[in-house]
Amino acid sequence: MIGSGFIAKVHSNAIRQVGHFFDLPYELYLKVICGRNRQKLEAAASRWGWEEVEADWRAVVARKDIDVVDIAVPNALHAPIAIAAAEAGKIVMCEKPLAASLADAERMTEKISGLPNLVWFNYRRLPAIALAKQLIEEGRIGEPYHFRAIYLNQSGNDPSKSSTWRYQRGEAGSGAAGDLLSHVIDLAFYLNGPIRELSAMTHTFARGRDVDDAAVLLARYVNGSIGTFEASRYGVGCQNRITFEINGSKGMLRFNLDSMNELEYYDASEAPSLRASRALMVTGPNHPYWETFWKPGHAIGYEHPFIATLGDFFLAMAEGKPFHDNFEDALAVQRVLHAVEQSGVSGHWVHVDQRG
Amino acid sequence: MIGSGFIAKVHSNAIRQVGHFFDLPYELYLKVICGRNRQKLEAAASRWGWEEVEADWRAVVARKDIDVVDIAVPNALHAPIAIAAAEAGKIVMCEKPLAASLADAERMTEKISGLPNLVWFNYRRLPAIALAKQLIEEGRIGEPYHFRAIYLNQSGNDPSKSSTWRYQRGEAGSGAAGDLLSHVIDLAFYLNGPIRELSAMTHTFARGRDVDDAAVLLARYVNGSIGTFEASRYGVGCQNRITFEINGSKGMLRFNLDSMNELEYYDASEAPSLRASRALMVTGPNHPYWETFWKPGHAIGYEHPFIATLGDFFLAMAEGKPFHDNFEDALAVQRVLHAVEQSGVSGHWVHVDQRG
Amino acid sequence: MIGSGFIAKVHSNAIRQVGHFFDLPYELYLKVICGRNRQKLEAAASRWGWEEVEADWRAVVARKDIDVVDIAVPNALHAPIAIAAAEAGKIVMCEKPLAASLADAERMTEKISGLPNLVWFNYRRLPAIALAKQLIEEGRIGEPYHFRAIYLNQSGNDPSKSSTWRYQRGEAGSGAAGDLLSHVIDLAFYLNGPIRELSAMTHTFARGRDVDDAAVLLARYVNGSIGTFEASRYGVGCQNRITFEINGSKGMLRFNLDSMNELEYYDASEAPSLRASRALMVTGPNHPYWETFWKPGHAIGYEHPFIATLGDFFLAMAEGKPFHDNFEDALAVQRVLHAVEQSGVSGHWVHVDQRG
Amino acid sequence: MIGSGFIAKVHSNAIRQVGHFFDLPYELYLKVICGRNRQKLEAAASRWGWEEVEADWRAVVARKDIDVVDIAVPNALHAPIAIAAAEAGKIVMCEKPLAASLADAERMTEKISGLPNLVWFNYRRLPAIALAKQLIEEGRIGEPYHFRAIYLNQSGNDPSKSSTWRYQRGEAGSGAAGDLLSHVIDLAFYLNGPIRELSAMTHTFARGRDVDDAAVLLARYVNGSIGTFEASRYGVGCQNRITFEINGSKGMLRFNLDSMNELEYYDASEAPSLRASRALMVTGPNHPYWETFWKPGHAIGYEHPFIATLGDFFLAMAEGKPFHDNFEDALAVQRVLHAVEQSGVSGHWVHVDQRG
């Protein structure tokens, strides 16, 4: 584990919990946690059961007794660590966004080729979102017309935050774009496929910040549908609000992370007088992961999609099956972020690189 | 029109509007409005187009050129006016509750027999509630298990109100029971049939009031289902909140007046993974009154069920068909209110008189 | 009244009802209703009390005994009728959008100058939206960051509709842009002020239609905030859904027409543990129009903002005060629609003409 | 751990997780899990890390190397196991309801006296409910008028379930009363204090069942407020729905387990035009357990209140402070269940024993 902040805690929990809910053919050992603040590191190690602490990530990557490296540090460090880990033949798990720049993301993806790898786009494995995917694949939404998504928090409205790494271009690469927009772009890929071209606006409200506080865009998808996206750290009133809606010829899906165990589904084929949005409580029966965690009617929380990500990753690895999101998936997201930045500067529509 | 308060305004509006939305075989003339405060009366007459004003209801009832008497005055006056109007052969429309006492209600119902009559239980004609009725009659809820209903407002929490007629037993007959509970009891009759027996508690929070501030009860219905009811003027946080829920072997219906154009419907026969409550927006297509007022997706407001009540009443009269709620329906509600009062005093279960 | 379709019905109702809820210094006479289908026209006249029917709008405009002309016909006819009426010195009320083209809108606005005039952007007078305006003016939202708005219906998903006037460029001027987007642009003007520049995408899903089925845009406001807008007739799952949200330094406002009597308000100045969105039921006390219609807790419906528009218009006229929306306001909206069309074609950001 | 069913899984998870979120002065060892089905037992042991399996609970209770006994078996077994464990001086944790009968509950409580003990009424430690408690104690609700609560699931509507232990009086003691009602009675004690007297109805819909499918009651609280309660296994449409509402002179609180991270709060002291129910997202900042689990805006799930129960229990034990719910608290709930049964049979109001 490289990192000891909030997201390292979430990953540690997933590592601890995955064996309680998934039948894995692997035994996981928590060898070493690596970070800069020794006191904080030892507290984390003792709490989560990491055997050792270490200050230098290069030392960790060099160890022979380590099979998996999990990267939970500021974005700009993803590339050097992932590349070194890939060169050492490790399995690599990396927090999103993949990198602080497209160039980094491309190099990382090239290097990791052939090794099992994972990017922590956790929301794909929210049962409600996995069910959305399933309903779409069953054809229940029909021909897609619109996919719109919004991710708002209000972290930027606090000017004292400018000094943390998330508000520094050098460490983060971007602001709301990498932090928030990347999540909903990944959901768009998952649920509606690739974006062909886009027109974006990026905006910084706070003086002196060199990253975007908000990133918004219009998109044309490869499948013929259109979309709008909005990500902002100035979404006052919203602590951590992701919403999306898909309108298709046969139905509609709507999601709001504030009610993360729910999915709204509208079936346009029903009798007109009974046609309405229904609020599916996606805790079973027959929903994604419903037998993995608790019982129908019993909500799961923020950390469960991380556990499911890890469980699915190890099961796929054991069965030699592909796993998503991997570095290539995250690279595709990074290409969209890159196009957003370009369009934000130029004011033109930009084609998104569709390789891979 | 006997009365010039808020509810007289609502009735006047219905009389003015009914011909705009219903094809009536009658022409309505607004002859005279009757009340005690001359200035207020003349303002109401001028605003709504009543031809004359009158201080004495007996004079109104005695006029030959009047066919319909609408009673919108404090409860204790319902009986003398309705009885006099019936004796004069008028069509009588009466605000709910029918009377301040069961004895009055019985006398009124007896006298009105043979004449067209109406009691303004407006909520039956909310499209959402009329749709609930229709879904039940189509068998979509199956065997009923539970019908529970709550009516809360917060009017009682203001001690200065004790002196108005609604807080005087002599004028109102009861407090929350006649004012609020009567509405949800009427909905129970409409949607789930008669109550066989009940156990009630009545409670007065304010010192010095001689009417109930809250009336709650447990009920056994004739159809084998069970229910709970709660009505209170101390429902702080609720301006005018009616909620009910019906659970049956095949489905569920849930209503909340705060979203008066919606009805929640749960169909237990759907595939488990798609089984959920759906929020029907009951403005059409194919919903009750959807062609009467606006278009699908366009909400109606508080006054429309009053207009629909009047429209249906005159259409039924023209066709010689029965109309509900009439005095007999309202008498049945009054019998439940009477049983609530008895049980509240005695602490025993009370059988509800099932005549009529 | 020029027109006899749905919106003419809504206007007729407003004309009939305005005197019941507003103290007007004018007496309104319903002289003549004008349209092409004689049978439909006579039915409308008889139902709403129009004294005469007429096939030719020029004949109506020429009459000396008519003071007010209300235009409720397809968009392309707005200009000739309004201009002729203005030349005849009439008071003119016109359905939105003002015109089928910017050139028409400019000519109309020039001609009407000096005469009382009104454009039926009804949503400004929804109490919930009027309250939003009031809270903004009180400074409760602080410095604005985002104003986003969406208007979706699903009318376009029915291919049989292509032949009606709303789907013909010649008659409508545009599709979702004029029909739906115009409403939310007007709300943006009302609540957040003018748009400086925009980047738009227009899209037609149906083959053979020459109007846009969807119009989406990114915007920079004059006040420094940014916005996204989306209007679509392919919003399957949404009958008539307008939503907007404003995030500012001190708070947030959120509205959804599906719950038209509600406004969500988030006050960022509250104690952190009590900071939350509150669902204001905007029926009083002390809310816009709360004493005009019913009582606190009693919902109003679709037609009431039309009644309020008319009431405010006549009161402003009587007092010699300005009234909004007038033709100039609607011209400003039309300039945005024009810029949307330009940007949709060119793919470039377009500056919005700020005159007036 | 005595038991290997669903609730034993939930408890095992809490035992595994408590040290990750709480700083405990104890090290927990998972010694032995005990149950009748060997295969299921070994699977559970291997998954959660129980060192040994055992078929006979008496053997477990007799072991010297065991300090804590956790009882997660059918209700009728709670008493013999708890009493034996108490006699052996163990710390005892017991699933709710405390016992299958009041007599058992009284004996258990007497025996456990002086030993640390816990009853798993998990909902008290939902952050939303703990916040409700805090707001009440701060006086924000004022004088309480109403506390009403409903717990509905639809498990009873499946007739095939009659044979499981929950539908057998011999094993469960009661039906919906012990299973569901006990939870909301405990919440009533927590949030509104003891019930003085009650009138109840119990009802069995399914033929041949000897337990209640529904239990409803009217209550008078010691503090002068009144309440209604409803618990049913025939709440078709509701998977696991707990709702409660408290109306007081100064405000209102409303909770719905379907949105378990939310609490609605209405502050009656606000300006009338801004008075509304606010939907507090109870994930911080400054909310109960907000630093224990994730970050503000990140939801917790079903299992977290169990973890918090265990964490608080061990912290209280370490500090020699009282912990709730203990056996005495659960005995008070059992006395209410007993009164419900008595009143259900007799049809009379019953005083609730207030000892302890």
pLDDT in tens, C43-55: 999 999 999 999 9
DSSP string, C271-318: -GGG--EEEEE-S-SSSTTTTTSS-TT----TTHHHHHHHHHHHHHHH
Q: What pLDDT was estimated at residue D160? A: 75
Distance from CA of C226 to the nearest CA of D (A): 24
A6: tokens are 């909030």
- The single residue listed with the structure tokens 């095939």 is D160
CB of C88 closer than 8 Å to CB of C82: no
User: For residue D354, which amino acid is it?
Assistant: Q
Q: Where are the alpha helices (DSSP H) in chain C?
A: 6-21, 38-48, 57-62, 78-87, 102-112, 127-137, 169-172, 176, 182-192, 304-319, 327-346
pLDDT digits (tens, 9 = 90+) for B172-228: 999 999 999 999 999 999 999 999 999 999 999 998 899 999 999 999 999 999 999
Of C252, D281, D252, D235, the C-alpha closest to A259 is: D281
Predicted structure pTM score: 0.97
Whether the pLDDT of residue B14 is over 70: the answer is yes
pLDDT, averaged across chain A: 96
A265 neighbourhood in chain B, CB within 8 Å: 274, 276
C148 neighbourhood in chain A, CB within 8 Å: 150, 230
Q: What pLDDT was estimated at residue D356? A: 65
Question: What is this model's ipTM?
Answer: 0.96
Whether the pLDDT of residue C356 is over 70: the answer is no
- C145 closest CB neighbour out of A148, A199, A205: A205
DSSP H/E element including B350 = strand B350-351
B287 neighbourhood in chain A, CB within 8 Å: 273
A152: Cβ contacts below 8 Å, ≥ 6 apart: A180, A230, A231, A232, A235, A238, A241, C247
pLDDT digits (tens, 9 = 90+) for A154-196: 999 887 777 789 999 999 999 999 999 999 999 999 999 999 9
Residue of A nearest to B287 (CA): A273
Pairing outcome for strands C262-267 and C277-281: antiparallel
Which class for A227: exposed (0-12), middle (13-18), buried (19 or more C-beta within 10 A)?
Answer: buried
Checking phi first, is residue D208 left (phi over 0); if not, alpha (psi -120 to 50) or beta?
left
Rounded distance between C-alpha atoms, residue C197 and residue A201, angstroms: 11
Rounded distance between C-alpha atoms, residue C335 and residue D193, angstroms: 64
pLDDT greater at residue C157 or residue C194: C194
- Interchain contact, D286 vs C271, CB within 8 Å: yes
CB of C73 closer than 8 Å to CB of C56: no
C88: tokens are 């005849």
Of A194, A188, A176, the C-alpha closest to A133 is: A188
Residue A311 has a CB neighbour count (10 Å cut-off) of 22
pLDDT digits (tens, 9 = 90+) for A41-65: 999 999 999 999 999 999 999 999 9
Whether the pLDDT of residue C302 is over 90: the answer is yes
Residue of D nearest to B267 (CA): D237
DSSP H/E element including B246 = strand B241-248
pLDDT, averaged across chain D: 96
Distance from CA of C213 to the nearest CA of D (A): 36
D286 neighbourhood in chain C, CB within 8 Å: 271-273
Interface of D with C (CB under 8 A): 131, 265, 271-274, 276-281, 284-287
Residue D139 has a CB neighbour count (10 Å cut-off) of 11
User: For residue C81, which amino acid is it?
Assistant: I
Of C215, C154, C213, the C-alpha closest to A249 is: C154
Q: What pLDDT was estimated at residue B332? A: 98
A250 neighbourhood in chain C, CB within 8 Å: 236
CB of D83 closer than 8 Å to CB of D109: no
Q: What pLDDT was estimated at residue B302? A: 97
Q: What pLDDT was estimated at residue B158? A: 81
Residue of B nearest to A127 (CA): B273
Distance from CA of D355 to the nearest CA of A (A): 35
Distance from CA of B262 to the nearest CA of C (A): 9
Q: What pLDDT was estimated at residue C271? A: 96
Residue of D nearest to C281 (CA): D276
CB of C9 closer than 8 Å to CB of C45: no
Q: How much of chain B, in percent, has pLDDT values that exceed 90?
A: 96
CB of B140 closer than 8 Å to CB of B250: yes
Rounded distance between C-alpha atoms, residue C123 and residue C131, angstroms: 12
DSSP SS3 for D84: helix
- The single residue listed with the structure tokens 């609530």 is B340
- Interchain contact, D302 vs A304, CB within 8 Å: no
B121: tokens are 């239980």
Q: What pLDDT was estimated at residue A356? A: 65
Query: What's the mean pLDDT in B81-86?
Result: 98
Residue of D nearest to B224 (CA): D205
Whether the pLDDT of residue A241 is over 80: the answer is yes
- Interchain contact, A259 vs D259, CB within 8 Å: yes
A271 neighbourhood in chain B, CB within 8 Å: 286
- B297 closest CB neighbour out of C10, C13, C153: C153
**Contact partners of C by the rule of 3+ C-beta pairs under 8 A?**
A, B, D
User: For residue C179, which amino acid is it?
Assistant: D
Residue of D nearest to B278 (CA): D237
What is Dmax (Cα atoms) for chain D? 66
| HEC letters along chain A | CECCCHHHHHHHHHHHHHHHHCCCCCCCCCCEEECCCHHHHHHHHHHHCCCEEECCHHHHHHCCCCCEEEECCCHHHHHHHHHHHHHCCCEEEECCCCCCCHHHHHHHHHHHCCCCEEECCHHHHCHHHHHHHHHHHCCCCCCEEEEEEEEECCHHHCHHHHHCHHHCHHHHCCCHHHHHHHHHHHHHHHHHCCEEEEEEEEECCCCCCCCCCEEEEEEEECCCCEEEEEEECCCCCCCCEEEEEEEECCEEEEEEHHHCCEEEEEECCCCHHHCCEEEEECCCCCCCCCCCCCCCCCCCCCCHHHHHHHHHHHHHHHHCCCCCCCHHHHHHHHHHHHHHHHHHHHCCCEECCCCC
B204: tokens are 């007065």
Of B153, B140, B141, the C-alpha closest to B183 is: B153
**Contact partners of D by the rule of 3+ C-beta pairs under 8 A?**
A, B, C
Pairing outcome for strands C226-232 and A68-71: unpaired
- Interchain contact, D13 vs A6, CB within 8 Å: no
pLDDT, averaged across chain B: 97
- Interchain contact, B232 vs D349, CB within 8 Å: no
Residue D262 has a CB neighbour count (10 Å cut-off) of 23
Query: What's the mean pLDDT in A93-111?
Result: 98
Q: How much of chain A, in percent, has pLDDT values that exceed 70?
A: 100
pLDDT digits (tens, 9 = 90+) for D62-88: 999 999 999 999 999 999 999 999 999
Whether the pLDDT of residue D208 is over 90: the answer is no
